[in-house]
Amino acid sequence: MMTESTESTEFLEEFFSEAQIRARVKELGRQISLDYQGKPLVMVCVLKGAFIFFSDLVRQVDLELEVDFLRVSSYGAGDTSSGEVRFSKDVEIDLRAKDVLLVDDIVDSGLTMDRLRREILTRGVNSLRIAALIDKFERREKEVSVDYAGFSVSDGFFVGYGLDYAERHRQKASVCVLVQKD
């Protein structure tokens, strides 16, 4: 399905449907529950983009766990990473001796996730794994392994289900690819 966005030169084309996302999040929740059985898991949401995915994923994980949030940005208002990762909110839970699962919307260049990974590892965690709704490997600049990938893609600029373009389109129930029309 293609819909015109608020800008006359942008169109959204559905890439992953609401049903596909729901089924995949359920599978991820089941796998995380098995992998972390009996461990002190802290799930950390990377704001803003991962908030919808995180909310749905947490409800699919059948474990006692703690949740926290951090906020970083590297995109600003554009569609490509600036390369500079800025922290504006840190976790509040003491992560020492706990297993941590960082949950992000998309791992693209790997710059943000590499920086987050290095920072979290300095806090004395037992383990650190990464979950992402989308593992986009096309422009990977830093080697980052996504342990729980909702979907793997090679290219495209994605919006919806929390992902945005200049703070727009987060509320879409499906993941769409943003198509620029000349």
Q: Which residues are catalytic?
A: 108
- Neighbouring CB atoms inside 10 A of 42's CB total 20
CA dist 6 and 134 (Å) reads: 24
Query: 73 pairs with which residues across the strands?
Result: 86
CB 169, CB 12: distance < 8 Å: yes
- Neighbouring CB atoms inside 10 A of 137's CB total 16
CA 118 vs. chain centroid, Å, equals 17
Structure tokens of 57?
Answer: 């994923």
Closest C-alpha to 25, from 54, 45, 48? 54
Structure tokens of 125?
Answer: 């965690």
Structure tokens of 35?
Answer: 């992998």
- Neighbouring CB atoms inside 10 A of 68's CB total 15
